[in-house]
Amino acid sequence: MDSNNPSSSTLLPEDIKESLKTLWLGQQEIYCYDMVESTNTEALSLARDDAVEGTIILAEAQSKGRGRQGRSWISPPSTGLYLSVILRPQTLPELRPRLSLVAAVAAASAIDQIGVRPGLKWPNDIMIGHRKVGGILTEACFDKKDPGFVIVGVGINVNTDPTDFSASTRDLATSLSLHTGKVISRLALLKELLYQLENWYELFRKDSFGGILKAWHEYETFLGSSVEVRFGDSTLLGIAEDLDSDGALLVRDRDGHVHRVVAGDIVRCRIRKSQARCAHDEP
């Protein structure tokens, strides 16, 4: 099949493997489903059954696609990319949260490679202007003896129609085709994503998080702006100053105190580089 044919429909393992540039990611098992509840849930179960590192689980549609912070991920059939990758990093468990930024940089780089320059909003929202085009859900499992695994789930709205978004997300979401006015090849984007993910993950394995943070900074669009950050039941208002060397967000409040946020969501911000408003920003 022509990998650049945007109209190619169902994603199949043999088409994905054809001229795939990775060394190991996706070179062994690729599971392609028409419909699953969540590719992350499938991946968790396969990983527990000892699936090898680099196994890919992909679905044309998800009935219960999961997002961060307990949200759902709308996954209409054959328009988006919904995939999960099984990774088995041998690094210290406390370094694994860095993998969300690794995946964000990989997804942004892949979208960039197909000709759309995205932005990143901490921790790993993939944005076009003030609208979200993709997101990442990483889930880890390990104990003291077992090095365990990490599931990296990636969702990208590729050819998604605005009518597929829920009423509450319609003003906050976009797709690559909506932005470009063209149908985008899911297959070509998927292959580039796997290639980028393998490359950035290899850097992570070499403990080169500095290089990953540098790339993340090249895509971010909100540092230096005032933000509202939600974590648990708490809300923090301040200026998003930077990320620290672990990828946590540093926010300076109006009293000058710097707060370190490890997990949360930016629910309001100004997109600095494009001067566009951010998702969830109100008029």
Name the residues that contact ligand BTN, by CB under 6 A. Answer: 38-40, 62, 65-68, 71, 73, 82-84, 125, 135-137, 153-155
Number of Cβ within a 10 Å radius of residue 186: 24
Q: Which is nearer to ligand BTN, 23 or 71 (CB)?
A: 71
Amino acid in the structure at residue 71: R
- In the bound state, the residue with its beta carbon closest to ligand BTN is 135
C-alpha angle 85-87-92 in degrees, rounded to nearest 5: 145
* CA proximity to 133, closest of 182, 79, 176, 194: 176
C-alpha angle 80-84-90 in degrees, rounded to nearest 5: 150
Q: Which is nearer to ligand BTN, 78 or 208 (CB)?
A: 78
Q: How far is the CB of 28 from ligand BTN (least distance, A)?
A: 20
H-helix or E-strand containing 110? Answer: helix 98-113
Q: How far is the CB of 187 from ligand BTN (least distance, A)?
A: 17
Q: How far is the CB of 258 from ligand BTN (least distance, A)?
A: 26
Q: Which is nearer to ligand BTN, 79 or 84 (CB)?
A: 84
Q: Which is nearer to ligand BTN, 239 or 267 (CB)?
A: 267
Q: How far is the CB of 75 from ligand BTN (least distance, A)?
A: 6
Q: Detail the DSSP E strand segments found in 110-246.
A: 119-121, 125-128, 131-141, 149-156, 226-231, 234-243
